[in-house]
Every structure is written in structure tokens, then in C-alpha cells.
Structure 1
Amino acid sequence: MEIKNADKEYLLGTLIDIEIDNLMDCKNAIDLEMVQQLIEDMQAAPEVVVIGSRASTVLVSYTTYIFNKIGIRTSGFDAADTKTLDNIINIDRSALVIAFGFPRYPKPTIVATRFLKNRGYKIVSITDKKKSPLAELSEYAFRLQANSYGYTDTYTSGILLINLITALIGKIQGTDINRHLREFNETAQQLDFYF
């Protein structure tokens, strides 16, 4: 079936408009004092543990990658994966837990987050609503609009928040982050990671 160019352009415009709306809401919704608190909590913790499942696994993967890249020891768990069960007892008791969850709020994320909360871990959630099951389990919650088209998922607001945190940590750490990034790139080259 051939799709008309006008229909393709309309769909492209619709998708862009939805993401722009998410980002504009994000610009107004992100509490910069809460961002500062999260950065302080991250720096005080021996490690950061990021959990999420289903569509949020993309955010877990990116957050784990970018935080480790700048020197924040970070582990990521897909709450539906057995490695969470295998490793959950090995998480340092003073680790900071960041939980991602958006509608329809996958149960494995809620169960893993509740389990960690009941054992005294500090939980910060990145979710969409005040009444989100994750927000109720958290010390504090970032509420980001996550509208998408039909059966697609959106990551723009979550990645924007993570990039903001990463950039601010870079400003705080200054030359230390440059040294760490240089070591990261040297390690990648020594391991022949890049083509």
C-alpha cells in the first residue's frame, strides 16, 4: 500500500508537534531546585541504581551509559529482567535509586521500587503524574509530560532531564569531568571499541 506524501507530511508534523509540546511542558515543569537536590544526592551516594521496564528500558540504558561516562557509578536494571532479582541483594544500602515509569506503569517496576523503598533506599522517580504509583514511593518525583502518537512511545522529556543533570554535573566538576571523559575515550580506543 502506497501512502500519499501529504499523509506522510501530516504524520511527521503531528509527531513533531507532540514532541515540541512535551518539551515546552518540560521546560516549565522541571523544578531546578529539585534537579540540584538530585545532583547532591547522586554525589553523596556510592552508586546510582536506575530501574524501569518495558518502554522505559531505553531511558534506563541511556541514563546508565551517560552517568557512567561522566564518572557516576551507575547500574541499570530492567525491572522485568531476572538480573534484577539476581543482583538486588548486592546493591549498596546507601545507593540512590532512580525509577522511570510512565503509563501504563509496568508492574515489575512498581514491585522492584516498592521492594527497595521498604528496605530503606532513597527513591527518586521520573514519571508523569502526581498520582503515579512511582511518585507515591519516592522521596521526590519529577513529573514530565509524555504524550505520544497512538501506540508509539516518547523519550524526549526523560532524555532532556538526564542531559540537563549530566551537563550540570559537568559544570560542577569542571576539569575532573574532562579528565574522566579523556580516560573514557582512551579506554574505548584501547579496547578498539570505535570503528
Structure 2
Amino acid sequence: MSEDKDLMLNIQMRFPKLSKGQKLIAEYILKHYDKAAFMTAAKLGTTVGVSESTVVRFAIELDFSGYPKLQKALQELIKTKLTTVQRIELSDNLINQENALKGVLKADMDNIRATLEKINHKTFESVINRIFSSRKIYIIGLRSSTALADFLGFYLNLILDNVQVVQLGISDIFEQMINITDEDLVIGIGFPRYAVRTIEALSYAKTKGTKIVAITDSLLSPLAAKADYTLIAQSNMASFVDSLVAPLSIINALIVAVGLREKEKISNTFKELENIWEEYHVYAYKKED
């Protein structure tokens, strides 16, 4: 299917030709797609009163290779629409108190594995080149992505001297970006549910001819629609908490790649910082015997 939003229309159009059991599945998905997205084929079958094999045949009838593909399409459809309260209600289908540690760690491992498979290495190298060729680098990530933006900004500021993290605060984000030009670079970070202000900031930068990098979860993301370069990091949720493990790995890779090109400079910087940290007791140092 070309776009996830076509899924409901596809089910409605094929409804008259479905078998009796398949119609029960279709009706349930049309009414409760938010719940169906996190059910196994067996669970969905039990819920509507049909066999697991009927659920699998229903997915194939919709031109999916199997039920997992249909389930993924449903999850893509809802992940930008679920409220936090709905996520909490649905999390019982994904994870529970007894297996929270194992379940979350496994989900994060799956996200990193999927990100490694999806990431475009040429795009990644192009982003590194653009970072070094830009007059100034603006980083923006709001809501749950604020931590990612701050982390990227913290380390890039130790390596480069032209980095600014755009933040919500006393001044509006547009005031912080007022001097942006086509010689600059904006790195926008956002995952479902996408922060409107981040999207607006990228739109504003685009009107100035500024090159844009999006670190987001999909090429269908509203951030990707504004971007010249898109780095995809999978962030499928295990519960009501957004998974930022894979995005943070991408950001770590960016920092390391930039640092490797400025190895001598950062070596001198950190030598000086070590002296400052020791003098002003920034970190706990082990006392000499």
C-alpha cells in the first residue's frame, strides 16, 4: 500500500466481497483500529470470534504478505494520533509489570536493529559534509525530543564554535532564528507525536533557503517533508514512553563522525577542559594516596 492512510479506505472498499468471518475482523478494525494494532493474530481472532488462520487470510485479502505487515500498517496509522492516556490503556497489550525490564530492552534492541537496516549511509555522510560547510548550525527538538537536541548541541559545541540550540523560553523560536540564511543548516529532531513548533521552525527555515536535516522516524514524517536530508531512526513505542534509544544512537554517530574530522582540535579542547574541571572540582576526582 502506498500510504498507511489508505488502509481504512481499502478495508471499506473490499468489505462487500469479504467472507462472514473476515467481515467481523473488518468491522472490529474499522471501529477499534487503535486496539487491533497491538493484538496478535490469535488475540484478534479470539476477540471477534474467528480463527487465527481467518485473520491471516484477511490480511492477505488486503494485499499484505501476512498479518505482521497489516499490524505494522495499523501501528503506523495510529502512532501520531494516540494520546498519552490511550497509550497507557494500550500498553497492557505490549508490556506488563512482570516483564517491563526485558520487554523494554528487547523493544529498544529491535529499534536499533531496524534503524541500522534503514539508515542511508550516503545521506549520513552528506549531513556530516553539510555540517562542516555551514556558516551556522541551528538545532531544534521540542517536547520529548528536547533531550536529544540538548545532547547533540552540548557535544557539537565542544567541537565546533557555530552551534545554537533553539529552545522554547523567554524568546520565541523565530526570534532565535531571525538571522538565519541560506548559508546555514537546521537540524530538526522530532518523533510521534510531532511537535507543531518544530515543524513550523523548519518551514520558516525553508523560506530562507536554509538546508534542513531531519532526524525522525519515517519519510512520511512532517519533518521529513521539509528536509533536504533525512536520517531515519525507528522509535516504536513499548508503552506510553517514547523510545529514544535509536535516535540517540544516530546522534552519537553524528557527534563521533564530526569529532573524527576535528580530532586534533577536540584533543586540545579536552586537555584544557580537564584542567578546568580539576581546578574547579567539576567532577569527583580520586584522591592520591
TM-score (norm 1): 0.87
> Aligned pair 1:106/2:195, yes or no?
yes
Larger Rg: 1 or 2?
2
Counterparts of 1:81-160 in structure 2 under 5 Å? 82-91=171-180, 93-160=182-249
Residues 113-148 of structure 1: per-residue CA shift (max 9 Å, x gap): 101111111101001111111111011111111012
Cα deviation for residue 93 of structure 1 reads 4.6
Taking CA–CA contacts closer than 8 Å with sequence separation of 6 or more, which of the two structures ends up with the larger relative contact order? 1
Q: Could you list the runs of 5+ residues in structure 1 that have no partner in the other structure?
A: 1-6
Quick one: structure 1 residues 184 and 9, their matched pair in 2 at CA, closer, same or farther if it must change by over 3 Å? farther
| Unaligned residue ranges in structure 2 (runs of 5+) | 1-95, 285-289
Instruction: After TM superposition, list the pairs within 5 Å mapping 1:1-195 onto structure 2.
Output: 8-71=97-160, 73-78=162-167, 82-91=171-180, 93-189=182-278, 192-194=281-283
The code of the aligned residue for 2:153 comes to T
Counterparts of 1:81 and 1:98, CA distance in 2 = 21
Native 8 Å contact 2:186 2:211 kept in 1: yes
Aligned residue type for 1:172 = R
- Identical pairs, percent: 26
CA gap of 1:130–1:183, structure 2 versus 1, over 3 A, is: same
Higher fraction of strand? 1
Residue matched to 1:3: none
CA change 1:80–1:140 in 2 (3 A) is farther
Instruction: State the 1:84 CA deviation.
Output: 1.7
* Corresponding residue pairs, total: 189
Query: Helix, strand or coil for the counterpart of 1:90?
Result: coil
Query: Which of 27-36 and 185-194 deviates more?
Result: 185-194
Whole-angstrom distance in 1 between the partners of 2:275 and 2:147? 26
CA spacing shift, 1:81–1:91, aligned 2, 3 Å: farther
In 2, the alpha carbon distance for the partners of 1:35 and 1:81 equals 34
Task: Please state how far the C-alpha of 1:175 moved relative to its aligned partner.
Answer: 1.9
